[in-house]
A and B are shown apart, each in its own frame.
Chain A
Amino acid sequence: MSNNTSLSLAQSKKRRFIKETAQKAVVYVLLSVVGVFMLVPFMWMVTTSLKDAGSVFVFSWIPRQFEWRNYVEAWKGGPTGVSFTRFFMNSIFVSSLVTFGQVFTCAFAAFAFARLKFWGRDKLFLAYLGTMMIPGAVTMIPVYILLSSRYLNWVNSYKALIIPGMFGGAFGTFLLRQFFLTIPKDLEDAARIDGCSTFGIFWRIILPLSKPALATLTTFTFMGVWNDFIWPLIVINTMEKKTLPVALASFQGMYSTDWHLLMAASTIVLMPVLIVYLFNQRFFVRGIVLTGLKQ
């Protein structure tokens, strides 16, 4: 009798094991199919970028001969004569300055909204929140007109790419304010008793405690500016001042059928970002969850 039950127990255990293994196998297969779908475009891009002009149209995953020259040629910028060194410098220059300015000024403003008392504070904050709901297309037109006016004459200059992004930024102010509000006030009170100034409290207590939020805002602002398309498309019209996305977009007109060069250029644009991502994955993931869930 007891022998019998232990046998059936072992049997049901075995059956459960088989069932679980089968389930896992199905999950792996499904995840892999999607994984292939996600990866194949990238692989095809790299493959194409290494083919010679003649074999671009052949359905093969391994190039006949690895044409590393494509990268050299794409990097030089072909008919435009402006190389990717320039576009990278433009993108790095613009994105860094905008990010620095925005995180810096947003932190100051967020501290004012979170901790200081001044006339009209809540109404002003409401104005900040209100602009977050307005689509960019609405403000784009007057800002362009302002920059193109003969008083400023900023169109086709780095100033047009940098200044409007550097100061302002309602989302950043909002994000940081919400974070600052979660920091306990006791610390500040203690510091104030010890004679710490308002600026000291902001600089020595609030900012160091807000590193995760500041890091998230920095990353997302940087990525946002780095990938921004419509604004540089509108305000920049010479190749020398174009940022990477706009430069890449104007390439497709010039290399309409040279797909190996277009794919080499795309790879050049994608690689640095993907490498940064692969080494800082946890950080990206945490940032997404933080900003996505708290919006």
Chain B
Amino acid sequence: MSQISAPARRKHLRENLTGFAFLAPNGIGFLVFGFLPIFASLFLSFASWELITPIKWIGFRNFVGILGFHKDGASVFPNDPYFWKYLLNTFYFMIGIPLGMATSLILALLMNQKIKGINIFRTIYFMPVVSSMIACALLWRWIYHPEVGLLNMFLYLFHIKGPDWLGSMAWAKPSLIVMGIWKGAGYNMLLYLAALQGVPEELYEAARVDGANKWRQFWGITWPLLGPINFLMIIMGVIGGFQSFDVQYVMTGGGPANSTKTMVFYIYEKAFTMFQMGYAAAIAWILAAMIFVFTFLQWKSMGKKVFYV
């Protein structure tokens, strides 16, 4: 090291300084609002803190409180039944991911043909995607209105008395899923369309020469080649699904009887309505851990089977 000449060292220093100067405006913000908070919240998850009380280190007590079980007489109960309920709710809402993907794929397949007016359809399908989530949530609350909502008035034409969609335990979750598909189908459709247009035409020609019909062509050529995009959509969908909050907050407020509350809803409640910061941070970290594990497992199980052209 000592062999480096003074001018070279000076040049080296200059390079370093230039690099940090370029990085600094972003880097400082990143450090304060992105990087350090990760460690702060990890620390908080092992503490009990209600903002006004002093911070108390309580070890794993938050995690035991969330994930643990206790015995009461002969039966075993979870320490925090809400957590498990909201976790199941969160998973339930993820049914919307494959349903939405199927909808988008069918739309993309229909649109991936040389027919006139495709642009008009694309424009229409994409409108909900660019629309404000909150405005759409309000709009769908009105459509789902039990007595005078559009849906139930429409059903009434066929003498069907529709349920109180958002107010019933059975229908609230499916109703939100349908709204979610309406909102998001156009986005994935675009990605599918781009992927479909990337499939080389020769492959289909070769298949036709071999006498494969449309159905066989789809499962033999199209579907395997959609592997990477499916993989991406599932990963992004699950990561987003774990963090769903806005729609539930606006459309049902988490009701009826907590049946539409999600994990992030719980974190929001604990942190910003009850100010149990430590407990909320612990839930947030459990959420993060689940996202890591799911992403990793999906990567492991599907990554290998994905084809790249």
Residue numbers of A with Cβ under 8 A of B are 24, 27-28, 30-31, 34-35, 37-42, 44-45, 48, 56-57, 59, 104-106, 108-109, 111-113, 116-119, 121, 124, 127-128, 131, 133-146, 148, 163-164, 166-170, 173, 198, 202, 223, 226-227, 229-230, 233-234, 244-246, 248-249, 252, 259, 262-263, 265-266, 269-270, 273-274, 277-278, 281, 284-285, 288-289, 292-293, 295
Contacts and interface: CB of A to CB of B under 8 A. Distances in A.
Contacts of B239: 135
Given A118-B20, A135-B288, A292-B232, A31 B29 contact: no
Contacts of B29: 105, 163-164, 166-169
Interface in B31-84: 32-38, 40-41, 44, 51
The 5 residue pairs across chains A and B that have the minimum distance between CB atoms: A167-B29, A118-B19, A109-B26, A142-B40, A168-B29
Contacts, number: 275
B132 A248 contact: yes
B212 interface: no
B22 interface: yes
A163 B25 CA distance: 12
Nearest to A138: B284
A127 B28 contact: no
A274 B25 contact: no
B26 A105 contact: yes
Nearest to A112: B22
A117 B11 CA distance: 11
Nearest to A289: B194
Contact of A259 (B142, B194, B250): B142
Given A137-B267, A249-B250, A252-B250, A105 B25 contact: yes
A133 B292 CA distance: 8
B93 interface: no
Contacts of B127: 38-39, 42, 274, 277
A138 B285 contact: yes
B207 interface: no
A44 B142 contact: yes
